[in-house]
Amino acid sequence: MIKKIILFIGVFVIISTVGPFLDCWRFDERIYFSPLEMDLKLIEAVHNDVGYAPNIARIFHNKAQLGAFFVFDSYLYFFDIRFLAPIFSLVGYVGIFWGFWYLFGLKNKFRQFIISLLLVLPFIEIFKLIDNTFARALIISVPYFVLSIFGIWQFLKSHKWIGVLVVLILVVLSVWYTDVFGSGIVDACSKV
Amino acid sequence: MKFLLLFALITIGGFLRIFNVDQNPPGLYIDEVSIGVNAYEILTRGVDEHGVSFPLFFEAFGEYKMPAYIYLVSGAMAVVGKIDLAVRLPSIIFGILTIPLLYLFIRKLIELNPKQIQNNKFQISKFKIPIVAAALLALSPWHIHFSRAGFEANVALFIFLLGSYFGLLFWSNKKYKFLILCFIFFSLTLYTYNAYRVISPLMVLIISLFIFLKFIKFRKKVVAALIGFALLILPVVQFSMTEAGATRFDDVSAFTKYEDRSSQEKLKIYPMEVMNNYFSYFSLEFLFSTGDNNNRHQLPGFGLVWRWLIPFTLIGFYQSMHRKNKLFKYSFLTMLLLAPLPASIVQPNPHSLRSLLMVLPLTVFAAYGLVWFFEHFKKYKLLVAFCLLLISFYEFSLFMHNYYFHYPRANSPDWGAGYKQMTLRMNEIKSGYDHIVVDQNLSNASSYIDFYGDGIEPLYVDTSWTKPDAWDEEDVLYVRPFYGNREGEYIIENIYLPQRDDIHAQFWKL
């Protein structure tokens, strides 16, 4: 019972921290696929190959290569270890790590479902497949939210009083640090 | 066969680190020039540029450099002369030597606990992971770039690995001399690069703790070795506590921007700042995509590790953490976790030079992942290998093309290119002038003139300087940055950046 109460408090803290960000969440401009930017980079790269045979230049500098690298690099952004750190509270952020840890211990459809979501959803943001910013932010954050709660609950279940203590400490620190997160909302919103 | 393969890797790695090294990176960077000036003074007069005889710490640009690399460059200059290559030679040589050393280190680790690194499906020889790791290091963009310029961190990396190897030899043979050598080399890292002032003592403490717990009969000897280590690093520790020794930290501290905050705010902000900085070193973007965005530290548009290695690095990390070989697991995990520590309390972050130690565990995890993958999925082995070969070959070729052809031209402003050409030209024409005057806006020109100049002793002036009346009848060579005019009454020559149309400096005749 006490573990469920702790979990509930943790979820409350996570929601109260994540919630304000969803309204103003803007991803970094550099992760959005821009054909114009790709063309400009291609022109610059080809110009730097002055004196070389055009075929050689085209082997190394072409839209396929630049596009692939751009999408790949943007995709990596969503798997950065600090991704969502400014948005989720401390307990929520640690919960995500626990979520991944316990997820790989499962061998069921839940694991496959969550992993599939995490692998596919970033493309929605990279290619702006949905116009509404709030909707995109919500779609991206939900799997991590679920993962965080799952991770916290698994941690509480697999550890006795020490698990309760650790999560409680994280919750207290999260609330204490809310000042830092709160004052950084405006900056974080434009950076994340 | 094994040694032939290793030799081939060393040769390839050596070629990648030596080819055109005096032209790429384009020009000595200011820190390299400072090293070169001091090294030459040590070689010829036994003093540094400030006249201090055989110093332990070299004053440069208001801070202090560690001595090891400078003395190595002195030795290099004694052989090859006062040239750009001499400044880079120690880094090149130790960079190349790191390849076989990593092979030996991993091989010894596996030999110590061969069965514990295997499970039912994963049967390996003690050859595959070491040779794949050596290959990956030989071709590592991170390690190649820092082996090609005068970076002390690269030499410190070798010495650190050598110290670790001797630690391993002690673990294997139980001979005390290896432990002593281990601690000696760790102490030497503190005199080579600043970051190891944090890393090496922690590493020594961890090793000592392991030995203390595991080998009871060596407890007294470990304590004695620790005391020896403490004595060896005492000068550095004492120096670090002085105002002069703390200058570097004060200049780059990550906490400077919070000086005006209250104590309570600092209590909240400092840990978050350190954590944020620390985690930035595990950012996939930093490692595989853009590096630290400092064009002097990597090829723009490329990360520090090959992109195609991402899945194998993660697989290797996960698999090695689940193996029972604690020595293998903890050796590289310790290196990986320690490497970003000293860099986390300074700025900017992330920083690919300060965290260079990470290249070793990441290379090993990638090698482990590759070997594990091909041992585990034998069914599609050929197909996967073929696809991987294509992708890796393309990325490698793209890197080589950009690094050896684009980089020297596109990124010459990030290095000292231009200053060398400027000074060498001054050497050629100085005899035709009574005075040489240099605009101070050519920042650090004095260091380049000290290194490349042939008896040139210019007067350094600000932009408001005008030719004094007393020099009316005398010819003055006035060296200035490019302020926008390509031609003019007094301009006699433009000094261009190598392979570019950009003017670095102008010679005026007054």
pLDDT tens digits for range A63-91: 888 888 888 888 888 888 877 777 788 88
Q: A80 and B284 in contact by Cβ < 8 A?
A: yes
pLDDT at A124 over 90: no
What are the angstrom distances between the C-alpha of B65 and each of A93, B38, B39, B52? 40, 10, 12, 14
- Kindly give the pairing relationship between strand B435-439 and strand B459-461: parallel
Tell the residue number behind the tokens 């006795």, with chain if given. A160
Q: B392 and B308 in contact (C-beta within 8 Å)? A: yes
Chain A nearest-CA residue for B281: A81
Residue A185: which pLDDT band, with cuts at 50, 70 and 90?
Answer: very low
Distance from CA of A88 to the nearest CA of B (A): 14
Distance from CA of A15 to the nearest CA of B (A): 21
Q: B269 and A180 in contact by Cβ < 8 A?
A: yes
Question: Which of B286, B322, B397, B401 to mutate against chain A (most A CBs within 10 Å)?
Answer: B401
Distance from CA of A139 to the nearest CA of B (A): 22
Q: In whole angstroms, give the CA distance from residue B475 to residue A135.
A: 72
Distance from CA of B267 to the nearest CA of A (A): 10
What b-and-e string marks burial along A72-111, b requiring 16 or more CB atoms within 10 Å of the CB? ebbbbbbebbbbbbbbbbbbbbbbbebbeebbeeeeeeee
Phi-psi region of B327 (alpha: psi -120 to 50; beta: other; left: phi over 0): alpha
Q: According to the 3-state scheme, what is the secondary structure of B198-227?
A: HHHHHHHHHHHHHHHHHCHHHHHHHHHHHH
Could you count the other beta carbons within 10 Å of the beta carbon of residue B243? 7
Could you count the other beta carbons within 10 Å of the beta carbon of residue A120? 10
Q: pLDDT at position A181, please? A: 46
* Residue A12 within a domain: yes
Q: B105 and B317 in contact (C-beta within 8 Å)? A: no
Q: B288 and A77 in contact by Cβ < 8 A?
A: no
Q: pLDDT at position B410, please? A: 87
- Kindly give the pairing relationship between strand B58-60 and strand B435-439: unpaired
Helix ranges (DSSP H) in B354-430? 359-376, 381-401, 407-410, 419-429
Tokens of B292: 């630290």
CA B209, B214, B220, B222 dihedral sign is: negative
Give, to the nearest 10 degrees, the angle between helix B310-321 and helix B359-376: 90
pLDDT at A142 over 60: yes
Does any CB of chain B come closer than 8 Å to the CB of residue A177? yes
Chain B nearest-CA residue for A81: B283
Q: In whole angstroms, give the CA distance from residue B462 to residue B439.
A: 6
Q: B284 and A79 in contact by Cβ < 8 A?
A: yes
Helix ranges (DSSP H) in B402-499? 407-410, 419-429, 445-452
Number of structural domains, chain A?
1
Mean pLDDT of A129-133: 81
Greatest C-alpha distance within chain B = 90
* Residue A38 within a domain: no
Q: A85 and B276 in contact by Cβ < 8 A?
A: yes
Chain A nearest-CA residue for B289: A73
- The pTM of the full predicted model, rounded to 2 decimals, is 0.91
Q: In whole angstroms, give the CA distance from residue B485 to residue B483.
A: 6
Q: A52 and B397 in contact by Cβ < 8 A?
A: no
Among A48, A65, A104, select the one facing B406 at the smallest CB separation: A48
Q: pLDDT at position A189, please? A: 54
* Residue A63 within a domain: no
* Residue A165 within a domain: yes
Q: pLDDT at position A30, please? A: 65
Which amino acid appears at position B104 of this protein? Answer: L
Q: B375 and B122 in contact (C-beta within 8 Å)? A: yes
Distance from CA of A80 to the nearest CA of B (A): 5
Helix ranges (DSSP H) in B402-509? 407-410, 419-429, 445-452
Kindly tell me the burial class for residue B23, based on how many C-beta atoms sit within 10 Å of its own C-beta (0-12, 13-18, 19 or more): middle
* Residue A41 within a domain: no
* Residue A20 within a domain: yes
Q: pLDDT at position B142, please? A: 96
Q: What is the mean pLDDT of chain A?
A: 79
Q: B282 and A48 in contact by Cβ < 8 A?
A: no
Query: What residues of A are in contact with residue B283 (Cβ under 8 Å)?
Result: 80-82
Q: In whole angstroms, give the CA distance from residue B423 to residue B82.
A: 15
Tell the residue number behind the tokens 């290095």, with chain if given. B415
Q: pLDDT at position B268, please? A: 77
Residues 81-140 of chain A whose Cβ lies under 8 A from any Cβ of chain B: 81-82, 85, 104
Structural domain of residue A101, as residue ranges?
A: 2-32+84-191
Distance from CA of A191 to the nearest CA of B (A): 14
Q: In whole angstroms, give the CA distance from residue A29 to residue A26.
A: 8
Q: B176 and B170 in contact (C-beta within 8 Å)? A: yes
DSSP assignment of chain A equals: -HHHHHHHHHHHHHHHHHHHHHHH----GGGS--HHHHHHHHHHHHHTTTTS-HHHHHHHS-HHHHHHHHHHHHHHHTT-TTTTTTTS-HHHHHHHHHHHHHHTT--SHHHHHHHHHHHHTHHHHHTT-SS-HHHHHHHHHHHHHHHHHHHHHHHHHHSSHHHHHHHHHHHHHHHHTHHHHHHTHHHHHHH-
* Residue A48 within a domain: no
pLDDT at A184 over 50: no
Among A73, A85, A177, select the one facing B268 at the smallest CB separation: A177
Distance from CA of B423 to the nearest CA of A (A): 27
Q: pLDDT at position A122, please? A: 87
Residue A24: which pLDDT band, with cuts at 50, 70 and 90?
Answer: low
Query: What residues of B are in contact with residue A85 (Cβ under 8 Å)?
Result: 276, 279
Q: pLDDT at position B332, please? A: 92
Cβ-based neighbours of B95, under 8 Å, separated by 6 or more: B13, B17, B143, B144, B146, B147, B148, B154, B158
* Residue A58 within a domain: no
Mean pLDDT of A94-104: 86
In a structure prediction context, what are the per-residue pLDDT tens digits for chain B, which is 510 residues long?
788 999 999 999 999 999 999 888 998 999 999 999 999 999 999 999 888 999 999 988 878 889 999 999 999 999 999 999 999 999 999 999 999 999 999 999 888 876 655 554 445 567 889 999 999 999 999 999 999 999 999 999 999 999 999 999 999 999 999 999 999 999 999 999 999 999 999 999 999 998 988 888 889 999 999 999 999 999 999 988 887 777 777 777 777 777 777 787 777 788 888 888 999 999 998 999 989 989 999 998 899 999 999 999 999 998 888 776 677 888 899 999 999 999 998 888 899 999 999 999 999 999 999 998 888 887 788 888 899 999 999 999 999 999 998 899 888 888 988 999 999 999 999 999 999 999 999 988 999 999 999 988 999 999 888 889 998 889 999 999 988 877 777 888 999 988 888 888 999 998
Q: A60 and B398 in contact by Cβ < 8 A?
A: yes
Q: pLDDT at position B301, please? A: 86
Q: B156 and B196 in contact (C-beta within 8 Å)? A: yes
> pLDDT tens for residues B450-477?
999 998 899 999 988 888 999 888 999 9
Q: Which of B215, B141, B493, B193 is nearest to B354 (CA)?
A: B193
Q: pLDDT at position B119, please? A: 53
Q: A80 and B289 in contact by Cβ < 8 A?
A: no
Residues 27-86 of chain A whose Cβ lies under 8 A from any Cβ of chain B: 45, 48-49, 52, 60, 65, 69, 72-73, 76-77, 79-82, 85
Q: In whole angstroms, give the CA distance from residue A117 to residue A99.
A: 14
Tokens of A168: 């409680």
Q: In whole angstroms, give the CA distance from residue B285 to residue B303.
A: 7
Residue A192: which pLDDT band, with cuts at 50, 70 and 90?
Answer: very low
Chain B nearest-CA residue for A173: B268
Which is higher by pLDDT, A106 or B63? B63
Q: pLDDT at position B266, please? A: 79
Query: What residues of A are in contact with residue B290 (Cβ under 8 Å)?
Result: 73
Q: pLDDT at position B143, please? A: 97
